[in-house]
Chain A
Amino acid sequence: MKNSLRWGPFLTVLDREISRFIKVIVQTVITPLVNSVLYLLIFGVSLGSHIKIHDGISYLSFLIPGLIMMGCLNNAFQNASSSIITAKFGGDLEDFRVAPLTRSQIVWAMSLGGLIRGLTVGVMTYLAGLLFVFIAEGQILGIAHPFILILFLSIGGLTFAKLGISVAFWSKSFDQLSAVTGFILTPLIYLGGVFFTLESLHPWWQQLAKLNPLLYFINGVRYGLIGVSDVSWPMACGISLFTLVVFHLLALRSLRTGSFLRW
């Protein structure tokens, strides 16, 4: 196989994915940022002053890593899924099929595109949180473990982009896509510990929450940013990596068995 086919098609799909979300940046980056700012304002500043979490950590600071991860996961998922769904609708997904692209190239390029959008929203959310903490508490929110923070954001973003690919390739209508988002994804994210600690839950509910892989993604980011977590970070890392591998295989399978044909 020619060398140009090794990297050229992959880089082009990645280029296309990034260009696409930049073209609609208000919808893809600014709107999620506004959502995060509203969460910070309402839950972090207004209600947060009445909530006690860990010693020496304000609820606002506790909330920020959860919001960063929530923004990253949601946007990584949406980038991949909306790219595929609009391509199905317009018919240009057929271009992917008739070009000499491998399934692996498509999955990696689309998930990297999703990750880049997720990280962009995550970084913007962090900067907004930094500002809120500075105004509300007069201090700078530093990063406790930068490597761990980036590691968990990357694993989470890639995992959710791959989930977005799978759902979009298998979806036969907009309804199916929004059903997955509304009934599975959003509840898992909200129940994954964005807004609460594990110890604040009933013991029975704690055991159930531990089955949610998003708990480990979110707590990994929380450990990376503010140095506290409900679970040990190596275990969180192991479970997150396992989830990434499973979702990667799912995405590859969705390209083999899902549809490239236009709606």
Chain B
Amino acid sequence: MQSAFQPVAALRVNDLKKDYGKNQAVKGVTFSVKPGEVFGLLGPNGAGKTSIISIIVTLEPATSGCVEIFGVDVAQQSRLAKTKVGWVPQEIINHGYFTVEEILKFISGFHGRRKNKDRIDYLLHRLSLWNHRNKKVKELSGGMKRRLMIGKALVHEPKLLLLDEPTAGVDLELRLSLWKFVEDLKKEGVSILLTTHYLEEAENICDRVAVLHHGELKKIGPTQELVQSLTSRMIRLHFKREIRPLKHPYLTLQNQMMAEFSLPSATGIGELLNDLQLDLRMLNDIQIIEGNLEDAFRFILEQQK
């Protein structure tokens, strides 16, 4: 039962299953995206991310389970649900006959907004496509095509945006501008479900992440909490002169002038130095390498082997 004060989830996926013949692509996945949240759905190729997105946007039916967008069941009330979601697919759509502006007009009209010039003009400017609005898709560069896909997903002002590998094959400059755009959308209150293989970017932008493997949800949680709980921080102590062999449970490497420790992320350096009972004047430098989402991701996948 939903509490009266609890906001409706932007996206609720409950016990979702998808079979392709004998192959179970999604095996009872449950998660939700809060309003205004950027949620990362991570996993290696074939983990089931795109299958889940295909079910959310009704490209494919679920074998069982339920998907709701702002409380609207996508299977029961698909038309209403579709007005609330925008989707940026992995692959570029070609639209052979039409120009950029015509494409946005048609997509807007498909959503019942036939007179939407202000929004279309805004998006053309915001996505730096204004000067290319009369070009056909085949005349656009890869980056422009990618921006057009985002424009198409946003033209009907959805409250939930699904980004399926939006930066695949995109250069650094465009990637940065896309993430800036995602941050702006978040500020505008748009909820975002994101899949990406760029884990560093996911770590920076996602409030929460879920890790999928072979169609099962392996971990879910706030990004930083997940990183801290699953990774260690590496501490390297560089000494001014040779020191005695150290004994410490987290010691991973020591040579004459350097010692390396792999500490749980929550453990402080002061605690380590205290345990070692070292004279701080012997220290030349302290190097700290924090664990990151990629380490956490790798840890989760290795646990599955």
Contact = CB atoms under 8 A, between A and B. Distances in A.
Contacts of A262: 91, 93
A100 B58 CA distance: 10
Contacts of A94: 59, 89, 93
A100 B93 contact: no
Nearest to B60: A261
Contacts of B152: 95
Interface in B69-89: 78-80, 82-83, 85, 87, 89
Nearest to A106: B110
Contact of B107 (A4, A20, A99): A99
A8 B114 contact: yes
B268 interface: no
A83 B112 CA distance: 21
Contacts of A86: 96-97
A60 B143 CA distance: 57
Interface in A86-102: 86, 89-92, 94-102
Contacts of B98: 16, 19-20, 23
Given A20-B97, A90-B93, A91-B94, A100 B111 contact: yes
B93 A99 contact: no
A15 interface: yes
Interface in A196-214: none
A4 B114 CA distance: 9
A100 B91 contact: no
Interface residues of A, number: 32
B125 interface: no
A253 B58 CA distance: 17
Interface string A1-45: 110110011011101100110011000000000000000000000
A260 interface: yes
Contacts of A96: 110
Contacts of A89: 94
A4 B95 CA distance: 25
B102 interface: yes
B109 interface: yes
Contacts of B179: none
Contacts of B92: 91
Interface in B98-132: 98, 102, 105-107, 109-114
Among B79, B82, B97, B98, the most chain A Cβ lie within 10 Å of the Cβ of B97
A23 B102 CA distance: 12
B57 interface: yes
A12 B58 contact: no
Contact of B95 (A11, A90, A102, A260): A90
Interface in A115-171: none
Given A97-B58, A261-B59, A4 B96 contact: no
B79 A1 contact: yes
A89 B95 CA distance: 9
A227 B33 CA distance: 68
A13 B91 contact: no
A2 B91 CA distance: 31
A98 B55 CA distance: 10
A92 B102 CA distance: 13
Nearest to A96: B110
B114 A92 contact: no
Nearest to A95: B107
B113 A4 contact: yes
Contact of B106 (A5, A15, A90, A98): A15
A90 B94 contact: yes
Among A15, A24, A99, the most chain B Cβ lie within 10 Å of the Cβ of A99
Given A91-B91, A97-B59, A98-B87, A8 B112 contact: yes
Nearest to B57: A98
Interface in B10-57: 57
Contacts of A90: 93-96
B82 A23 contact: no
A16 B106 CA distance: 7
B83 A100 contact: yes
B171 to A, nearest CB: 22
Contacts of B91: 91, 262
Contacts of B58: 97-98
Contacts of B113: 4, 8
Contacts of A95: 93, 106-107, 110, 152
A53 B273 CA distance: 110
B97 A99 contact: no
Among A1, A2, A9, the most chain B Cβ lie within 10 Å of the Cβ of A9
B106 A100 contact: no
A12 B59 contact: no
Q: Which 9 residue pairs are nearest across A and B when measured between Cβ atoms? A: A12-B109, A90-B94, A4-B112, A99-B110, A8-B112, A100-B79, A91-B93, A100-B82, A5-B112
14 contacts: A1-B79, A8-B109, A8-B112, A12-B109, A19-B98, A20-B97, A20-B98, A23-B98, A90-B95, A94-B59, A97-B58, A100-B78, A100-B110, A100-B111
